Structure 1
């Protein structure tokens, strides 16, 4: 059996305790700092090569940038205008691997319309770019997973997306990219790494690097890290032959641990804000395709692009912004100015304007961009860099979600350069947890639902979240009929998914479940507050929380939602940041 199919992938409380205990007694080949998609990818890359690996994350898996993206796996159509052909080609090749092999249950093809608002020149200009996009991706396309682009007339465009203004739109180009639930994908990478034997710990913050010898010289090798366990306030050391820091917008923090004179990566944070609205807020009908997949939109804005993306069966995601951010990196805040900007841009092409009252959820994330000469973050490089500032330490930063696997491979190649006999990367052909038997289960929702007490339509949604491990969730529902019921305030999710999040997916706090294992926090107008008490009770039973701890988790979550709502009423970044910081991180309570 493949390591990704075994119970070794389960991130249970007992697994965490065992990994924590073993790390104090081992010297691992590779210690990875950072549990976003790049760090998780590095842990999987190293572990699947047969190396001993530790992965530590200060908060939750994908808690930073990797749960707050546009949820797209794409080549970056707009980068063609910057002549970044190698970057686009690389991203499109990774898109194909994700759709076909690595995570077909989580990464699905999605059509987009590029509306044309000007006369003939725009169709010719954009058409040439989209044609090149297809050409760059064609070498990695197999079968019909990603169809080629098509030109649509004004009439066909309005039939495909009736919500577009007929007096503005003159036609469109339809092309395809792919969509992902970023947090669940990152989690699948972590679980797959665990299946290959990686020791994985969330709520484990690196507070310093261990240096060999006296540790004072600029070239003193890094031999591990000191780690604070945020579950109980204790601390421990992890010793390693090589350390990979994949900390994104926190890269400067790792550089500071080396001292002022050490080389480092210069990373700038760019804030991207997204809105979630009900499907009824925008009249975008399905094109006449075999699968009936509704199309998204890609719109040109003065500074970048704006997407309108179908999210599940009932919602749209609209975003994003692209502005410099120099404030709190743990909890970037969306201001009313960000929200107004998005609404203004999207409403320029819609018959019925989207209003603030339509908004269900708002989220803000930070892109780690390699700093260049320009202060405009939209022009900074989306390529990645890997450096070894001192022996034993590798820093990786930049890039984009789609190319995480390449970044991880490059980082591990650098980390094992001094380890004789280390094999080459295997991840280009390595399915993640949930993908191994996807072809066998993808169309079997009715059969899987039988005897579980769960409707077939719900099982179909479970398959898109859990793939061939959907049976693990249904087994919980069969064992306790109460777990077969929907969550209060979030009927798209099962109570069993909460228990599964604790027993198999490493969830330690209420926020982990409502924000990342599920998307209740952005998909409901109450933003998870109505679901919080029930979810906390389910988690308490699995984690052994007492009544005081359970109440504290609900209070923390409620305060977080209120702070975010308040920040979104503030006029600018500084006031929004101050409002958001009114609710401390739940992990700061230890």
Structure 2
């Protein structure tokens, strides 16, 4: 079977050799710094225009902001209320494109109830806004033959709300409006975009840190990098470097001598994960708070509740949720529930940082989610701001700026962006395999529910996962300690999705760390043993990986008992970080 865009340890070594120029590869046209949603999108946009492209990420794909979002692909209703029609229209167009064409296996509709508390004026006010929301989506140029890919909104009375959401307090509402947005596993989307870029020829190297820039006069002509797995330093030459480092933007600007006009403020948003049976409802909710909005989002056998929006000035790699943050969300969600939730109901907590362009507002909730692209010095493009939904537009704008810079050094004809036509890996054959779900279950010996789970994560690439199971029947068993996932998914994360460390698998390739009450502690040993077989780890390395993960969980739990950000940050940093450790020999 042909493996499309497979990323494994051998691919990583090959990519580093190519980036370093030791494999006889030509100089890069574009080097992307940052492996989040924007960086992966830039790599895909650049390589599909015919540019020789590389990407480096100091940790893991989506290890920062892009694995810790609300998991929504949406236009942003509150931006509509702020009269930011351009941003909403753009986001809705991108939503339609993802749902109907680019990634229907990953991005799917999700219903929300918008509760109404006033009998007349509010229904008209909110209803008109949602009418405009649907209209913008329906006329979008990427909405798919005039269809926006999602159902239209509908008005509901009080009784209808009670039927849909029995656990929603109806004493204070007059009804609701149900509308649709879309959701996605953000980390999986990033990994899939990166794999798609690799499939088209981009060199992707995780665990590779940029430690400086290479200059010829004023022009940036590459970077100095360090392979954090081996400790080897090397130079990557590129005609243009695109910085897509998100909340690390200011740090990268410092490496180039502080030259740059982008300044990013990190805003912390936390989310709670609770079991689906704690709230009886067929729909999610969206409720206003005094600062922003509260989402209660269906997430498989769970609910995601969020989010907060507060400034964060501490460690960017490990933002910590405090007990005050958790209490804030519980307090607001309990105001709308018949049966209140408490701390014992919380399975998982995760905190992420939004990279917001600084402005005149003191409140991060009011800073712009729009993005900006600048070229502070020749050969360096920087992009910051934006939101997950519009990653493709951000990537296009960044590569357009890179192309402008390239044209100053060559007369090479460079094509326009085509990423609105490039389906992500897994989109091909997704519909066919979905129709064949019962047949696939019979052939594989798996339950149909397992096939549905795999289709929702891998789409048409389910064939590759089932092929692993066909050759190694033990991989059809549920992962010990996290039975929602199969052992095959851990192996696939290593052999096809570039996982290098245990937390890559438990935190990002799967979401075990936030979907289990023990935060993945019971699953860690079994997952590490499966990874060891693929990566050649010895018993000591397995022990070290498990110990490192358990330290992470312990530190996160302790930080979530702290009241202030400063205290939570101090406790969270007591856990070791792969980035701060010395390079270790292979197998150790």
State the shift of 1:412 in Å: 0.3
Structure-to-structure mapping, 1:217-228, within 5 angstroms: 220-228=218-226
In structure 2, how many angstroms separate the alpha carbons of the residues matched to 1:348 and 1:127?
23
Match of 1:82 in 2: 82
Match of 1:154 in 2: 158
Matched, 1:250 2:248: yes
Match of 2:298 in 1: 310
SS of 2:352's equivalent in the other structure is: strand
Deviates more, 1:179-188 or 1:228-237: 228-237
In structure 2, how many angstroms separate the alpha carbons of the residues matched to 1:263 and 1:277?
42
Matched, 1:10 2:6: yes
* Alpha-carbon displacement from aligned partner over 1:50-69 (angstroms, at most 9, x marks no partner): 11001000000000000000
SS of 2:494's equivalent in the other structure is: helix
Matched, 1:204 2:204: no
In structure 1, how many angstroms separate the alpha carbons of the residues matched to 2:426 and 2:27?
31
State the shift of 1:119 in Å: 3.5
Matched, 1:301 2:289: yes
Match of 1:562 in 2: 554
Match of 1:392 in 2: 379
Structure 1 residues 6 and 192: alpha-carbon distance in aligned structure 2, compared to 1, 3 A threshold = farther
SS of 2:15's equivalent in the other structure is: helix
In structure 2, how many angstroms separate the alpha carbons of the residues matched to 1:55 and 1:7?
21
CA contact (8 A) 1:309 1:318 kept: yes
CA contact (8 A) 2:368 2:385 kept: yes
In structure 2, how many angstroms separate the alpha carbons of the residues matched to 1:454 and 1:477?
10
Aligned structure 1 segments of 4 or more residues deviating by more than 4 angstroms: none
In structure 1, how many angstroms separate the alpha carbons of the residues matched to 2:447 and 2:490?
18
SS of 2:443's equivalent in the other structure is: coil
State the shift of 1:456 in Å: 1.8
* Alpha-carbon displacement from aligned partner over 1:233-256 (angstroms, at most 9, x marks no partner): 111111001010001000001111
Structure-to-structure mapping, 1:424-463, within 5 angstroms: 424-463=416-455
Match of 1:49 in 2: 49
Match of 1:516 in 2: 508
* Alpha-carbon displacement from aligned partner over 1:545-575 (angstroms, at most 9, x marks no partner): 0111110000000000000000001011111
SS of 1:427's equivalent in the other structure is: coil
* Alpha-carbon displacement from aligned partner over 1:306-359 (angstroms, at most 9, x marks no partner): 1000001x1100000000111110000000000000011111111011111100
RMSD (Å) for aligned C-alpha atoms: 1.2
Match of 2:402 in 1: 415
State the shift of 1:439 in Å: 1.7
Structure 1 residues 525 and 309: alpha-carbon distance in aligned structure 2, compared to 1, 3 A threshold = same
CA contact (8 A) 1:454 1:485 kept: no
CA contact (8 A) 1:448 1:471 kept: no
In structure 2, how many angstroms separate the alpha carbons of the residues matched to 1:358 and 1:132?
38
State the shift of 1:454 in Å: 2.2
Aligned residues: 569
Which structure 1 segments of 5+ residues have no match?
214-219, 287-294
CA contact (8 A) 1:7 1:195 kept: no
State the shift of 1:453 in Å: 3.1
Matched, 1:545 2:537: yes
So what's the TM-score if we normalise by structure 2?
0.95
Deviates more, 1:35-44 or 1:164-173: 164-173
So what's the TM-score if we normalise by structure 1?
0.95
CA contact (8 A) 2:3 2:464 kept: no
Match of 1:588 among 573, 580, 588: 580
State the shift of 1:145 in Å: 2.4
Which structure 2 segments of 5+ residues have no match?
584-588
Match of 1:496 among 473, 485, 488: 488
Matched, 1:145 2:155: no
State the shift of 1:416 in Å: 1.0
CA contact (8 A) 1:34 1:55 kept: yes
Match of 1:370 in 2: 357
In structure 1, how many angstroms separate the alpha carbons of the residues matched to 2:580 and 2:525?
21
Deviates more, 1:263-272 or 1:402-411: 263-272
* Alpha-carbon displacement from aligned partner over 1:101-136 (angstroms, at most 9, x marks no partner): 110000001111001123322212211211111111
In structure 1, how many angstroms separate the alpha carbons of the residues matched to 2:50 and 2:372?
25
State the shift of 1:448 in Å: 1.7
In structure 1, how many angstroms separate the alpha carbons of the residues matched to 2:505 and 2:344?
26
Match of 1:279 among 254, 276, 281: 276
In structure 2, how many angstroms separate the alpha carbons of the residues matched to 1:343 and 1:303?
15
State the shift of 1:168 in Å: 1.5
CA contact (8 A) 1:222 1:392 kept: yes
SS of 1:424's equivalent in the other structure is: coil
Match of 1:401 among 374, 388, 403: 388
